[in-house]
């Protein structure tokens, strides 16, 4: 009542038939209480902090009675993790000082965006060399596999199917996915271990409540940066089934690790320049962060739309206790992020990438009248794709890239060069030359980035959504929502640019 929470009052009236806001005695008592708080210079924000702090301290006092941590003589001296949170302790004072900066309305969001840019820059700058080394290693193995097939006298179609199809796709998925994930996931886990992620949820809670969603969705959204499968699985932390579905259906608007290479390559070629260097990688990180912010904005808007239509309801309330800041245990963080996140996600991607390699090779090598199935498919899609600022090859590459987003760009290159297997050019200069020769402009580049941000989830994410929701209906909606929005955004952008004469 003191906070003026009208939605809670409406729920109490609906379920208990008690009209708190219409009772004159209660209204008088609330008015008197507000005057008393005002005279004591206690604002609503300070009142909330005092209530939550008292709850935490009382819980610690009860816990000490039931199970003292430092023996029977424990007095909360501040030397252990829990004692440091008592009033006046050094750790508690430090935490409150940090929270005034990290959760402030003035500095909380800018610091969050700065950390996002920093994490993206480290990932972009650090993943290039390991990816190149892994690609060279896998191609070295491919050469030996080719020699083995030749020594065994295997037919060309079998070599193409297994080596140039299945193996090469698997190699690219691993080479492209593993280094960025091996960098991004530990950074994400370090922030989690430090205690910062609950502060992210705190900073975004108000925005999610305005969208009638749960503030915990901020955490699942952050997990989607690494992999949308992990983000969907993380939605289990949301108690409300309605809000859990909202979080699951909108998680794909955050670009995952598999879409980063495509976005980074386009940004580097058409908006930063291919020279690279520190300035180039920093600018790439900033532009990529802006693309991600667009995805976050769409997450809010689609969450609001779902909450007002098929998943109608009010936002639930939850008590978010901000844990104490801790010094991250780097060794455990690296091990946990690699085994629990990186390798698990990579394993799921490999499972779906193997059959994808087989299908792509078949499309690129089976001909009807000297024209490959890949060419037929791209020609059929081309008129519709042109309306979106794309072409038939690009749209078909996204469709064939359904098993893993990492293979979209190699498919585009394969189709433009008319090669029978997935490949990648040696550098971005050659790649940009190839794309421009096939009609790419800055409009094409922006349209591809927009469609990369807003299109169907990958097959692994769809399987995860089916597992979490237990229904193909929600899988279908998770595909339809971002794809419809992506098509609409690309069409509006392309049409506007053409009308303006660019």
Residue range 141-170, pLDDT digits in tens: 988 888 998 888 888 888 888 888 888 878
Task: Return mean pLDDT, the chain.
Answer: 82
Confidence label for 277 from pLDDT (cuts 50, 70 and 90): low
User: How confident is the model at residue 419, as a pLDDT?
Assistant: 72
User: How confident is the model at residue 81, as a pLDDT?
Assistant: 47
> Which of 233, 267, 502, 494 minimizes the C-alpha distance to 384?
494
User: How confident is the model at residue 390, as a pLDDT?
Assistant: 93
Token pair listed for 96 = 């409150």
Confidence label for 87 from pLDDT (cuts 50, 70 and 90): very low
pLDDT in tens, 168-220: 878 877 887 778 778 877 888 888 888 888 888 888 888 888 888 888 888 88
Q: Rounded distance, CA 367 to CA 134, Å?
A: 33
Q: Which stretch of DSSP H or E encloses residue 118?
A: helix 108-152
Q: Rounded distance, CA 368 to CA 380, Å?
A: 15
Least confident of 69-83, 99-113, 375-389: 69-83
Q: Rounded distance, CA 252 to CA 105, Å?
A: 27
> Which of 441, 117, 131 minimizes the C-alpha distance to 281?
117
Q: What does the angle CA 344 – CA 349 – CA 355 come to, to the nearest 5 degrees? A: 140
Token pair listed for 329 = 């245990």
88: left (phi over 0), alpha (psi -120 to 50) or beta: left
Residue 276 has pLDDT above 70, yes or no: no
Helix axes 217-226, 241-250, angle to 10 degrees: 30
> Which of 269, 291, 259, 272 minimizes the C-alpha distance to 441?
269
> Which of 490, 420, 414 minimizes the C-alpha distance to 452?
490
Least confident of 321-330, 333-342, 467-476: 333-342
Residue 70 has pLDDT above 70, yes or no: no
Residue 447 has pLDDT above 90, yes or no: yes
Q: Is the CB of residue 434 less than 8 Å from the CB of residue 413?
A: yes
Q: What does the angle CA 411 – CA 415 – CA 417 come to, to the nearest 5 degrees? A: 115
Confidence label for 485 from pLDDT (cuts 50, 70 and 90): very high
Number of residues written out for the chain: 502
User: How confident is the model at residue 274, as a pLDDT?
Assistant: 55
Percent of the chain with pLDDT strictly greater than 90 = 20
Please report which residue ranges of 317-365 form alpha helices under DSSP H: 330-336, 343-365
Could you tell me the end-to-end alpha-carbon distance of the chain, in angstroms, rounded to an integer?
56
> Which of 410, 382, 398, 380 minimizes the C-alpha distance to 459?
398
3-state secondary structure of 371: strand
Q: Rounded distance, CA 338 to CA 347, Å?
A: 12
454 or 276: which leads in pLDDT: 454
Token pair listed for 211 = 């969208």
DSSP 78-99: SSSTTGGGSTT-HHHHHHHHHH
User: How confident is the model at residue 409, as a pLDDT?
Assistant: 82
Residue 341 has pLDDT above 60, yes or no: yes
> Which of 168, 104, 498 minimizes the C-alpha distance to 112?
104
Residue 371, strand partner residues: 368
Percent of the chain with pLDDT strictly greater than 70 = 89
Q: Rounded distance, CA 246 to CA 238, Å?
A: 10
Question: Per 3-state DSSP, what percentage of the chain is helix, strand, and coil (rounded to 5)?
Answer: 75, 0, 25
Q: Rounded distance, CA 422 to CA 374, Å?
A: 12
Contacts of 234 (CB under 8 A, 6+ apart): 219, 220, 223
Radius of gyration of the chain from Cα atoms?
Answer: 27
Q: Is the CB of residue 97 less than 8 Å from the CB of residue 324?
A: no
pLDDT in tens, 382-406: 999 999 999 999 999 999 888 878 7
Q: Rounded distance, CA 274 to CA 373, Å?
A: 33
Token pair listed for 465 = 């959504």
């Amino acid at each position: 009542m003191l906070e003026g929470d009208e939605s809670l009052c409406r729920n109490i009236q609906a379920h208990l038939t008690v009209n708190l806001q219409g009772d004159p005695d209660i209204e008088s008592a609330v008015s008197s209480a507000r005057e008393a708080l005002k005279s004591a210079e206690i604002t609503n924000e300070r009142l909330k902090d005092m209530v939550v702090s008292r709850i935490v301290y009382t819980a610690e006092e009860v816990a000490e009675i039931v199970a003292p941590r430092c023996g029977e003589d424990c007095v909360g001296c501040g030397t252990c993790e829990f004692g440091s949170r008592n009033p006046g302790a050094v750790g508690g004072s430090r935490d409150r000082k940090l929270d005034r900066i990290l959760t402030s309305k003035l500095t909380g969001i800018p610091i969050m965006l700065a950390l996002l840019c920093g994490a993206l820059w480290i990932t972009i700058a650090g993943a290039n060399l390991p990816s190149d080394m892994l690609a060279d290693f896998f191609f070295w193995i491919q050469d030996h596999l080719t020699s083995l097939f030749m020594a065994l006298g295997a037919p060309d179609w079998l070599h193409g199917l297994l080596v140039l199809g299945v193996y090469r796709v698997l190699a690219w998925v691993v080479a492209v996915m593993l280094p960025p994930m091996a960098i991004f996931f530990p950074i994400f886990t370090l922030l989690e271990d430090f205690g910062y992620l609950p502060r992210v949820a705190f900073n975004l809670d108000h925005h999610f409540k305005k969208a009638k969603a749960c503030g915990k969705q901020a955490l699942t959204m952050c997990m989607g940066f690494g992999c949308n499968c992990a983000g969907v699985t993380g939605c289990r932390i949301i108690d409300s089934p309605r809000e859990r579905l909202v979080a699951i259906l909108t998680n794909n608007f955050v670009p995952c690790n598999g879409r980063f290479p495509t976005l980074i390559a386009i940004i580097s070629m058409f908006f930063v320049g291919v020279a690279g260097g520190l300035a180039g990688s920093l600018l790439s990180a900033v532009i990529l962060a802006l693309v991600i912010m667009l995805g976050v904005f769409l997450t809010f808007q689609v969450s609001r739309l779902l909450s007002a239509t098929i998943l109608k309801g009010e936002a639930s309330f939850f008590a978010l206790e901000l844990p104490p800041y801790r010094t991250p245990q780097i060794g455990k963080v690296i091990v946990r992020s690699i085994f629990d996140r990186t390798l698990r996600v990579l394993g799921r991607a490999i499972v779906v990438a193997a059959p994808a390699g087989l299908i792509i090779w078949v499309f690129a090598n089976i001909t009807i009248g000297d024209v490959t199935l890949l060419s037929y498919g791209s020609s059929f899609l081309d008129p519709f794709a042109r309306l979106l600022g794309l072409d038939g090859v690009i749209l078909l590459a996204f469709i064939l890239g359904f098993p893993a987003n990492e293979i979209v760009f190699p498919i585009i290159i394969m189709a433009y060069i008319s090669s029978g297997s997935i490949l990648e050019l040696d550098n971005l200069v050659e790649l940009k030359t190839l794309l421009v020769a096939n009609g790419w402009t800055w409009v094409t580049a922006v349209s591809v980035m927009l469609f990369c941000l807003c299109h169907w989830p990958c097959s692994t994410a769809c399987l995860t959504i089916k597992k979490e929701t237990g229904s193909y209906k929600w899988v279908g909606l998770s595909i339809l929502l971002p794809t419809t929005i992506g098509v609409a955004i690309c069409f509006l952008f392309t049409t506007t640019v053409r009308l303006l004469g660019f």
